[in-house]
Amino acid sequence: MSSQDNSQLVSQIEELSGQRVSDCYQCGCCTAGCPVGELMDPPPSRAIRLLQLGRAQELLASEGIWVCASCLVCGTRCPRNVDYAKIAEACRALILRAKRSQVDPDVVDDQDLQDVPQQAFIASFRKFSV
Ligand code: SF4
Ligand code: SF4
């Protein structure tokens, strides 16, 4: 992926989350307070650093954004009012939206309708379509 694509992704993440990654000065308070920081790769401060360096694709491919429990502790500890929970949420949304072709209503046949509960279809359309 080109650096231009990566910088577009950073802009998208900033727009979706309402956060500016340049506001972060890497103090580490968010990571220090994160209850699952030891399991999160990358933890919040390092995830934001990746975005500052234009390495958005690396963050989107990481497990860390899925480990975040959206507990909001990081945002309350940040002296710069950066809310990493919103950034992680924006990253997850971008990935889920990109997978919209995984469930195509046009290819659902009668057998699928008999075999799969309706709630599962609705949940899939919500998650994997825009
Ligand atoms: S919102 Fe996510 S990153 Fe922030 S402290 Fe909670 S689990 Fe950690
Ligand atoms: S607490 Fe705020 S300023 Fe400090 S590293 Fe985390 S996001 Fe950056």
Residue 23 and residue 71 in one domain: yes
Substitution candidate for ligand 2 out of 29, 68, 83 with most atoms within 8 A of CB: 29
Q: Which residue segment(s) compose the domain that 35 sits in?
A: 3-98
Indicate if 72 and 109 belong to the same structural domain: no
Q: Kindly state whether residues 110 and 50 are assigned to the same domain.
A: no
Same domain, 83 and 54: yes
32 in the same domain as 93? yes
Nearest to 87 by CA among 21, 4, 31: 21
Task: List pLDDT tens digits, range 27-81.
Answer: 999 999 999 999 999 999 999 999 999 999 999 999 999 999 999 999 999 999 9
Q: Encode pLDDT of 75-107 as tens digits.
A: 999 999 999 999 999 999 999 887 655 667 777
Q: Are residues 27 and 83 in the same domain?
A: yes
Q: Are residues 79 and 17 in the same domain?
A: yes
Specify whether 105 is located in the same domain as 92. Answer: no
Q: Are residues 79 and 109 in the same domain?
A: no
User: Given a cut of 70, is residue 130 above it in pLDDT?
Assistant: no
CA nearest to 96, candidates 74, 73, 124: 124
**123 and 66 share a domain?**
no
- Spell 69-95 as b/e; 16+ CB within 10 A means b: eeeebbbebbeeebbbbbbbbbbeebe
Cβ distance 40 to 79 under 8 Å? no
Are residues 92 and 38 part of one domain?
yes
Same domain, residue pair 61 and 89:
yes
Specify the ligand 1 atom closest to the Cα of 37. Answer: 8
User: Which residue lies with its CA nearest to atom 3 of ligand 2?
Assistant: 24
Determine the pLDDT at residue 79: 98
**Number of domains making up the chain:** 2
Q: Is residue 128 pLDDT above 70, yes or no?
A: no
Q: What is the spatial distance between Cα 94 and Cα 16, in angstroms, rounded to a whole number?
A: 9
In the reported structure, the alpha carbon of residue 4 is separated from the centroid of ligand 2 by a whole-number distance in angstroms of 25
Report CA(98)–ligand 2 centroid distance (Å).
28
Cβ of 13 less than 6 Å from ligand 2: no
Q: How many CA atoms lie within 13 A of 24 on its CB side?
A: 27
Q: Alpha-carbon distance 42 to 48, whole Å?
A: 9
Locus of tokens 């990493």: 84
Between residues 129 and 130, the one the model is more confident about: 129
